[in-house]
Structure 1
Amino acid sequence: MLTPGDRVAVLSPSYAAPAEFPAVHERSLERLRDEFGLAPVEFPTTRRHSTPRERAADLMAAYADPAIRAVFATIGGDDQITVLPHLDPAPFVADPKPFFGYSDNTNLLNWLWCHGVAGYHGMSTMVHLSRASGVGPEVAASLRAALFTGGDLEIRPAAEFREDELNWGDPIALTGSVPSLTSPGRVWHGAGRVVSGRTWGGCLESLHPTLAVGRWVRPVADYAGSILLLETSEEMPSATAVFRMLRDFGERGLLEQFPAVLVGTAKATALFQPRPVEERQAYRDEQREAVLKAFAAYHPEAMIVFGVDFGHTDPQWVLPYGGRMTVDGIARTITAHY
C-alpha cells in the first residue's frame, strides 16, 4: 500500500496525449497532488510522441526506480502491442508495483499478468482526473482502495451514466460537462451461484490482436477459474465483429475457462462518430446478444453480468486485474478485493 507523499510515475505508454492537450494533463497532475496526496513524476516520453523502444525504456525506468510506488497511464492509444517486445521483465518482477490503465493499456496489463504481476483495469489520468466536475466517486473510492486501504469494495451499479465527450482541443473541456442519462442497468445471465477468482481480460479490441500475434498468451489451463473482464471502446465494434472475436477466443479454448464474465457498459457514441441517444440502447442490446451467442456455443454454463460500470464508461470503477473479485449471482452483487 502507498502512503501520502509517495512518488508515482505518470507515463504515456501508448498515445502521448499530454503533447497535444497540456492543460488537460496539468489538471490531472494537480488532482493527483491535491486530492490523493501523491507526487507525480513524468518521464521523457510522457509529453512527447516517441518510438515503442523509447516508451518501453520509460516503463522499465519507472519500475526500476524504488522511489516510484505506482505507475499511471495518461491515456490509451492503438499501438502499445509494439512496445511489449522491448520490455525486460526483470524490473517488473523485482518490484511489482501497481499499474493503472485500460483501453490500449490492456496490452501491458496482460503482459504483466503473464509475468505474475497484478495491476488495475481503469483510471487513465487525463480521462478521469481532469473533468470540471471533479473526480467521480466511483473512481475515487476504488482508486483509494487500490492505493491506500485495500479491503473489499462492492462494485455498485450506477443510477446514471455519461457517454458523450468534450473535445480536449476546445477550452470548454476544462469547464464544461456532458449530460447524465439513466443507466441501462445490469442484466444477469446464468446467475444462481457464487464465483470468486482472479481477473483477466480487458478491452476486446486490444485482446484480440494479442491472440492474433500469439505473444504473451499462456496455455488455456492457466486461465481456468478466472473471472473474465470484457469491454469495448469508442471504436464501437459491431455485434458481428464482437461475436467473431469471441468465437476466436472460443476456438482457442479460452471461453470455457471462465466461470463468470463481467461485461462493461458498452460505449454507444463517440466524439467523432456520434449516435442519437434514442439509438444507443439498441447497439448495447445487439452487443449483449452477440456475447450470449458466443458463450452459448462455447460455454453455456458461464454466469455473465452485463452493464457493469468499468472500461469506456463514466462512472468507472477501477478493478483488480490479476487480483481477486467475487461475483455473487444469488445476492446479485459484485465485490472487488483490493
Structure 2
Amino acid sequence: MTSSCSNPSMVKPPRLQPGSRIAVIAPASSAKSERIELGMEALRKLGYEAVEGRHLRGRSPQYFSGTVQERLEDLHHAFGDASIAAIICSRGGYGSNYLLENIDLSLISKNPKPWFGYSDMTVLQNLLLDRTGLVSFHGPMVAADFCREDGVHRPSFDAAVAGGATSVGSAEGLRALRPGHASGTLYGGCLSMIVSALGTPFAAETEGKLLFLEDIGVKPYQVDRMLRQLILAGKLDGVSGIIFGEMLDCASPGADPDLLEAMILRVLDWFEGPIAIGLRSGHVSRDNVTLPFGIQAELKLSVDAGEDKPMLRFLEPAVRN
C-alpha cells in the first residue's frame, strides 16, 4: 500500500476550528492512563473535543500499544473519519516501523489532516511527507507534553493549527553554532529514527531541505557516529542548513560540557550552511515547540555587535482555510 509518486506536491491540511474533534492514537508504545487523561483534559481546555482511538489504552505483549493491525486500524480510522479534524499521538516509544509497509497512503492522501508527533513518529511523518506531500507537525504529544503544565509552547502550536505566521528564536532555545542564512523545506525529526531508516525503502529524503535533528539521552560519540552515517549515506548533501534540538541529556558524565557542540562543528567542518542548536522541539525539558515539516522556512544566524540573534521563520502557513 505504500507505493506512491515520488516528490509529490505539498499538501496542507485544513485549519482547526473551535470545537474541532482531535483523535488521540498510539501508533507505537503504550502510555500511562493518568497521563493520557491529563493530556486529553488539556486539549478540552483549549476548546477541542478529544476522541480516543479504539486501541489508545491497549497494551500488547512487550512494549506496544496494540498489535500491528490494531495500531494501523486506529491510524487509518483517524484519517478516514470525516468528523476527525486532527490527530495527535499519545507518545513515542517504539513500534512505528512495523506500520510502514502497510499504511494506506491513498486513504491519507484523500483525507489530509494535521497530525502531531515526534520521537518514534519521525519515520511515519517522513514517510507521509515524502510519499504524499502531507505537511506534518513535529510537536507536542498528549501523554508526553499536553499532560504537563509547561509542556506545550502555545504560540507555535496555535499558529500551526490556525494558519498563523510565526518565528522562533533565542526564547525557544535557538543558538548559533555557525552563522549564516539558509532557506528550504523544513524537514527532519529524531536523529536516531532517521538513521534507523537508512538502507530501507523508507529512508528520509533530505536533499534541498532545511534539516532539523534532535534526540535524547545519546552521548556525543553516538551523535558523532549517527552524523557520520548520514554523511556516508549522502543524506547531508544538498541540505541548506542544519538545526539541532535541545539535545536533552546528550552529555558524557565528567566530560567537557561543550563536547557535543565542539564535536558537531568538527564532524560538520565541511558543511557550508549555517548550523544552530538548542531549539526546544521534540524531546525537551519544557515548552515543546511545534515545527511544521513540509513548509518553506528560513534560518538566520547572525552575530551583530557580539550579540547572537538567531531566528527560524516560517515563510507560509502550515494549514489552509
Which TM-score bucket, shorter chain as reference? 0.7 to 0.9
Alignment deviations for residues 311-336 of structure 1 (CA, whole Å, 9 cap, x no partner) = 21122211111123211124532223
State, as a whole percentage, how many aligned pairs show the same letter: 29
* Matching residue within 216, 236, 240 for 2:202: 216
* Matching residue within 291, 300, 306 for 1:328: 300
| Maintained 8 Å contact 2:29/2:91 | yes
* Matching residue within 274, 278, 281 for 1:303: 274
| Shift of residue 291, structure 1, vs aligned partner | 2.4
Q: Which runs of 4+ in 1 moved over 3 A?
A: 279-283
Report the counterpart of residue 54 of structure 2 in structure 1.
Answer: 44
Report the counterpart of residue 107 of structure 2 in structure 1.
Answer: 91
Quote the Cα distance in structure 1 between the aligned partners of 2:179 and 2:22.
Answer: 40
1:230 aligns with 2:213: yes
What SS is found at the alignment partner of 2:24? Answer: strand
The residue type paired with residue 28 of structure 1 is: G
| Shift of residue 251, structure 1, vs aligned partner | 1.3
Report the counterpart of residue 138 of structure 2 in structure 1.
Answer: 121
The verdict on how the C-alpha distance between 1:23 and 1:186 changes in structure 2, with shifts beyond 3 A counting, is closer
The residue type paired with residue 117 of structure 1 is: L
Report the counterpart of residue 59 of structure 1 in structure 2.
Answer: 75
Alignment deviations for residues 79-104 of structure 1 (CA, whole Å, 9 cap, x no partner) = 21112112110111111111100111
| Maintained 8 Å contact 1:11/1:43 | yes
* Matching residue within 29, 32, 43 for 1:32: 43
Alignment deviations for residues 200-257 of structure 1 (CA, whole Å, 9 cap, x no partner) = 1111111111114x12236xxx633211010012xx2222221111111111211122
The verdict on how the C-alpha distance between 1:280 and 1:53 changes in structure 2, with shifts beyond 3 A counting, is farther
* Matching residue within 196, 206, 210 for 2:193: 206
The residue type paired with residue 306 of structure 1 is: I
Quote the Cα distance in structure 2 between the aligned partners of 1:282 and 1:186.
Answer: 21
The residue type paired with residue 48 of structure 2 is: L
Structure 1 unaligned spans of 5+: 160-184, 270-274
Report the counterpart of residue 23 of structure 1 in structure 2.
Answer: 34
Quote the Cα distance in structure 2 between the aligned partners of 1:334 and 1:54.
Answer: 38
Report the counterpart of residue 181 of structure 1 in structure 2.
Answer: none
Structure 2 unaligned spans of 5+: 1-14, 60-65, 303-308
Quote the Cα distance in structure 2 between the aligned partners of 1:281 and 1:239.
Answer: 10
Quote the Cα distance in structure 2 between the aligned partners of 1:120 and 1:211.
Answer: 22
| Maintained 8 Å contact 1:268/1:280 | no
Correspondence list, 1:136-175, <5 A? 136=151, 139-148=153-162, 150-158=163-171
| Shift of residue 69, structure 1, vs aligned partner | 1.0
Quote the Cα distance in structure 2 between the aligned partners of 1:105 and 1:28.
Answer: 18
| Maintained 8 Å contact 2:137/2:293 | yes
Tell me the TM-score normalised to structure 2 length: 0.83
How many residue pairs get aligned? The number is: 288
Quote the Cα distance in structure 2 between the aligned partners of 1:38 and 1:186.
Answer: 30
What SS is found at the alignment partner of 2:218? Answer: coil
Quote the Cα distance in structure 1 between the aligned partners of 2:264 and 2:296.
Answer: 23
| Shift of residue 282, structure 1, vs aligned partner | 4.0
Report the counterpart of residue 5 of structure 2 in structure 1.
Answer: none
The residue type paired with residue 188 of structure 1 is: A
The residue type paired with residue 215 of structure 1 is: P
| Maintained 8 Å contact 1:189/1:305 | yes
The residue type paired with residue 216 of structure 1 is: F
Tell me the TM-score normalised to structure 1 length: 0.79
1:74 aligns with 2:60: no
Q: Which structure's residues are more often helix, by fraction?
A: 1
Quote the Cα distance in structure 2 between the aligned partners of 1:281 and 1:124.
Answer: 32
